[in-house]
Structure 1
Amino acid sequence: MFGIDARTARVVWTAALVLASLYCVYLMRTTLLVMLIAVLFSYLIYPLFTLAQRWIGGRIPRTPLLCLVYLVVVALVALAVGLFGNQVAEQATALAHQLPTLLDPATLERRLPLPGLLEPLRARLVGFLRDLLQGGSAQAMPFVRNVGFGLMHLAGNLIYVVVVPILSFLMILQAPVFDELLVTMHHRRNGAFWTDVLHGLNTVLSSYVRALALLSLATLLAYGLVLSLMGVPFALLLAGFAAVLEVIPVLGPLVAAAAIAGVALFSGYEHVGWVIAFIGAYRVFQDYMLNPYLMSEGVDVPPILVVFGLLAGEELAGISGIFLSVPFLAALRMVAVQVRQHKAKIAETSSPG
C-alpha cells in the first residue's frame, strides 16, 4: 500500500514504539526511581512483618498487623535519634566550625602527631601535606559546590520520605496478589521461565538489601563503639558517615576510612596508627567473613564490575545511579544465569533419547 514494504513498515513502527517508550521512561524517571526505592524499602520491612505473622499466628488481620510493625520501626528510629541525634548534630556543628582551622597549613606543623621514628621527617611531611592541601583546595571547590546543589535538591524532595513508606506499605499488603499472578503466569507459554526470573530477582534484591542494612548497622555499631573508646574526635559522626557509605561497595569503605584517618590526623589525635589498624582489621573481618555470610551467591559481583557500575551509574544518574548500580548488575547477572539454564533445559528436552 502506497508503495511501502510491509516488513519495513513493521520495523519502523517497532522502532518508533521503542523510542516512544524510552522517552516516556525518561519523563517518568523520578516516579520510577521512587517506586524502586519503595520496593527496596519493602525488603527491609517484610521480614519483620512475616516474623510478626508467625508470632501472632493469624489472630490479627494483615493491615492492623502491618501498621503495628510500622509503628514499632518508627518508634525504634525515634528512640535512636533521641539518644544519639543531639550528639551527632553537636559533633557535626563542631567539625564544621573547626574545619578551616584543621585544614590551615600554617598551624599544621605543630598539630601533626608523629611517632618518634618519623620526627626527623616532620618538616618534609608537613611540607608535602601543606602543598597537597593548597593544591587540592581549588580542585575541591567544584566538588563542594556540586554536593551543595545535591543537598538542596534532596531537601526539595523530602516529600518522598513520606511517599516511600506509604508505597512500601501498599506493596506489602498486595504481596498475596503478586503471588497469585506468579502462579497464573507459571501455566502460560514460557511462564516457567519468567516465574523463575521473577523469583530470582526477588531473592537477589531481598538478599542484597537486607545484607546491606545489616552491614551498615554493624559498621555503625563497631565504629561508634571502638572510636568512642579510643577517644577519636567526632567518633559518632564519623561512625554514621562510614555506615552511610557502606551502601557503596568498594569505594564507600575506602572513602570512609580515608575520612576517619584524615580527621583524626588533622585533629592532632596521637594514636592514628591504632585507628588505621582497627579499620584494617574490621574490613578484613567484614569483607571475608561477615559479608560472604550475609550475601547469597546470586549477589556476588566481580569487583571490577562493581567499580565500573559505580562510575557508569554516577555518569548516568548521579547519586541514584551510584546506589542502584550494584543491585542492577546483580539482577542482570541473575537474569543471564536464568536464560542460560532455560536454554539448557530446552536443549535437554529437544535432544533425542
Structure 2
Amino acid sequence: MFGIDVRAARAVWTAALVLLALYCAYTVRTTLLVLLFGVFFSYLVYPLFVLLQRWTGGRLPRVPLLIMVYALIVGAFVLAGALFGTRIATEAQNLAQELPKLMQPGQLQRQLPLPAPLEPLRVRLAEFLQNLISAGASQALPTVRGLGTGLLHVAGNLIYVVVVPIFSFLMVRDAPGIEGVLVSLGKKQDGSFWSSLARGLNHLMSQYVRALALLSLATVIVYSVVLSLLGAPFALLLAVLAALLEVIPVFGPLIAALSIFSVAIVSGYPHVWWLVAFIVAYRIFQDYMLNPYLMSEGVNVPPIVVVFGLLAGDELAGVPGIFLSVPFFAAVRIVAVQIRIHRERRQLEACEAGSGPDSG
C-alpha cells in the first residue's frame, strides 16, 4: 500500500540491530575484556577444583571447595613472591643500572665474545650489534612497546584484580547449571548445533588456557635452571620474562630469545654460543613436541593466520587483542566446522526423508 518492501525492511532492521549490538559491545569493551579474562581464569581454576573434588570424594559442597582452591592459589603466589620476588626485583634494578654503562661506545667491542676466525670483524660486528640493539630499544614493534604499558594499566586498576577472580568463582560455582542448560538445548529442535558449538568452544578454551599455563610454567623452570647452571647474567629475571612472553605466539619466544642474547652480549658473558644452542634446542622441543602434545587439533591455527591476527589484534585492541587473537581465530574455525557439519546433517536427513518407504 505504501510501497514498502517487507523483506527489505526486515533486512534493514536486522542490520540496524547488528550495528547497535556492535556499538554497545564497543562502548563496554573494557567490561567485556574483564569478563573474558575472568573466563580464562576460570579455566585455570577448574582443573584444580576437579582434582580437589576427587581427592575429597565429593563430600564437600562446591563453595567451600572453591574457597580452598582460591586459598591454595593465593598461597602459591605469596610463596613464589617470598622465594623469588626479592631476587627478581634486585636483578631488574641491577640491569637497569648497568645497561647504560654497558652500551657505552667501545664497551661492547671489548666484551663481544667472538671465535678466532671472526676477530678481524670485531669492530664492524660490534657497531652492527650496538646499532641493532639501540634501534630495537627505540623502534620496537608496537606490540612490544604496548605490552608493559598494558600490563601496568591492568595491574593498576584494582577493579580488574577483584572482578576477574569473582567472575571466575561464580562461573565455576554455576558450572552444573550451565551444563544443564546446554543439555536441555541439545534436546530441542536444531538445538544440537548450539550444544555442539558450545562443547567445541569449551574444549577449545580449556585446551588453550591449559596449554599456555603449562608452556609458561615449563619455560620459567627450564630457563631459570639452565641459565643459572650456565652462569648467565640475570638468569631468573630473563626466565620470568621468557615465561611471560610465551603467551604471545611466534613473536613472544623470538623477543625473549633476542633479549637473552642481547643482555648476555652487552654483559660480556663468555659463553653466548652455549646460550644460543640451548635456546634453539629448547624451541625445537617446545614448538614441535610439547606444544603439539598440549594443544588439540582444534586449537592449531596456521602460522600466517597467527601473524596476521597478532598484528591486527594489536591495532584493534592492543595487548588484549594480541592475547585473544589466536583463540578468536580458533573459535571462528570451530564455528565454521560446526556450520558445515550441521548443513551436511540436514542434507542427509532430507535425503533419507525423500528416499523413505512413502517416497514411491
TM-score between both structures, scaled by the size of structure 2: 0.92
Q: CA deviation at 1:125?
A: 1.2
Match in the other structure for 2:59 = 59
Match in the other structure for 1:85 = 85
Pairs within 5 Å for 1:26-37: 26-37=26-37
Q: CA deviation at 1:334?
A: 1.2
Structure 2 CA distance for partners of 1:305 and 1:134, relative to 1, 3 Å? closer
Partners of 1:197 and 1:225 in 2: how far apart? 42
Match in the other structure for 1:196 = 196
Q: CA deviation at 1:160?
A: 0.6
Q: CA deviation at 1:158?
A: 3.6
Match in the other structure for 2:236 = 236
Structure 2 CA distance for partners of 1:191 and 1:151, relative to 1, 3 Å? closer
Structure 2 CA distance for partners of 1:74 and 1:95, relative to 1, 3 Å? same
Check the 8 A contact 2:155/2:161 in 1, yes or no.
no
Match in the other structure for 2:118 = 118
- Paired residue type of 2:314: E
Structure 2 CA distance for partners of 1:342 and 1:308, relative to 1, 3 Å? same
Deviates more, 1:153-162 or 1:49-58: 153-162
Match in the other structure for 2:358 = none
Q: What secondary structure is seen at the aligned counterpart in 2 of 1:248?
A: coil
Q: What secondary structure is seen at the aligned counterpart in 2 of 1:78?
A: helix
Check the 8 A contact 2:147/2:319 in 1, yes or no.
no
Check the 8 A contact 1:216/1:247 in 2, yes or no.
yes
Match in the other structure for 1:251 = 251
- Paired residue type of 1:119: E
Deviates more, 1:113-122 or 1:137-146: 137-146
- Paired residue type of 1:103: M
Partners of 1:186 and 1:148 in 2: how far apart? 44
Q: Which structure 2 residue ranges, 5 or more long, are not aligned?
A: 356-360
Match in the other structure for 1:295 = 295
Paired residues, what number? 353
Q: What CA deviation, in whole Å up to 9, does each residue of 1:121-164 have, x standing for no partner?
A: 11221232344456566545999975675455334424311211
Structure 2 CA distance for partners of 1:134 and 1:82, relative to 1, 3 Å? closer
Partners of 2:298 and 2:71 in 1: how far apart? 32
TM-score between both structures, scaled by the size of structure 1: 0.94
Q: CA deviation at 1:13?
A: 1.9
Q: What secondary structure is seen at the aligned counterpart in 2 of 1:109?
A: helix
Partners of 2:132 and 2:291 in 1: how far apart? 35
Partners of 1:44 and 1:135 in 2: how far apart? 38
Check the 8 A contact 1:196/1:338 in 2, yes or no.
yes
- Identity across aligned pairs (percent)? 62
Partners of 1:177 and 1:211 in 2: how far apart? 26
Aligned-pair Cα RMSD in Å? 2.0
Match in the other structure for 1:70 = 70
